[in-house]
Structure 1
Amino acid sequence: MSKNKILNQNIMKSLKFFLFVLIGSLALTFIACEPDKPEPDKPEPEIKLEFLSLTADKELLYAGETATITAEAKGEEVTYQWSATMGSIIGSGETVTFAPTPCNTGESTITCKIIDKHKNALSKSLVITVE
């Protein structure tokens, strides 16, 4: 064999080895540099709407008196809607004041409706006697 032929074979072997290493390195680089896939958003567990209690600090009122009414609820972003059959609701939120209509006696029904962010709703009522 001539020296040129042996030299060419050595160059070809070196070139093949170099290409093999280069292609392998590029493949590993692309695999290793793949962008991280974000984890899918896990939905937060829904908190079931519950109307725990509706209480008044007084069940019997006399002229000029008021009562504090408190609603206790559990849920997500709960809002409160209040109404009274004979009198006014003063304030908003989970604690309000009931002021009976002057010169009227009898029973007044106070109702609280709770609504969560999913539009689920529950209501409770209580009766206050006005003398």
Structure 2
Amino acid sequence: MKSKTLVLIGIALVVIAGCSGNQITNPVNQPPLITAMAVTPEQAHLGDLVTVSSSAHDPESQNVTFNWTATFGYFIGSGPTVTFNTIYCCVVGVNEITLTVTDPQGNSTERKIWVSIE
């Protein structure tokens, strides 16, 4: 009788120990990924319109927002493809364009690209 009790206690301990490892954890939200960026043309003249395009996605398949900024000049449009307007660009030379992609939880990723203005 004593050995049956010890066996049952041992089995109960194994079952309890096995169940404690099955805790549910919430996955950590990952920031969006920018997989590509391009400017066309890469060299432009002051006053030209330059197409800036990107490809980005969220690992959790949520919608993302695109925010384009530049040292000089401004953008026409929104989303993954915009037009960089160099008409009011004050600097001839290399101009930095920054893309920030943000998911609904506020996680963001930033990437830069450059366009040469003559």
TM-score range, shorter chain: 0.5 to 0.7
Question: Any residues of structure 2 matched to 1:66-85 within 5 Å, and which?
Answer: 66-75=49-58, 76-85=62-71
Deviation at 1:124, TM superposition (A): 0.6
State the aligned residue count.
89
Listed as ranges, the matches of 1:46-125 within 5 Å are 49-75=32-58, 76-100=62-86, 101-102=88-89, 104-125=91-112
Deviation of 1:63 (Å): 2.6
**Hey, what's the Cα distance between the residues in 2 that align with 1:102 and 1:47?**
36
Matched residues in 1 for 2:92 and 2:72: separation? 9
Q: Write the distance in 1 (CA, Å) between the matches of 2:90 and 2:107.
A: 38
Unaligned runs of 5+ in 2: 1-25
Greater share of strand: 2
- Structure 2 distance, partners of 1:80, 1:53, is 13
Amino acid across the alignment from 2:101: I
TM-score normalised to structure 1 length: 0.60
Over the matched positions of the two proteins, sequence identity in percent amounts to 29
Q: CA deviation at 1:97?
A: 0.3
**Is the 1:48–1:74 Cα contact (8 Å) retained in structure 2?**
no
Structure 2 counterpart SS, 1:114: strand
Q: Does 1:127 align with 2:114?
A: yes
Q: Bigger radius of gyration, 1 or 2?
A: 1
Alpha-carbon distance in 2 for matches of 1:86, 1:103: 6
Unaligned runs of 5+ in 1: 1-42
CA deviation profile, 1:90-128 (whole Å, cap 9, x unmatched): 111111000112563111111110001121100111111
Supply the distance in 1 between the matched residues of 2:90 and 2:98 (Cα, whole angstroms): 22
Report the equivalent of 1:32.
none
- Could you say what the CA RMSD is over the residues aligned between the two structures, in angstroms? 2.3
Greater helix percent: which structure? 1
Q: 1:128 to 1:118 in 2, by over 3 A?
A: same
Describe the SS at the equivalent of 2:52: strand
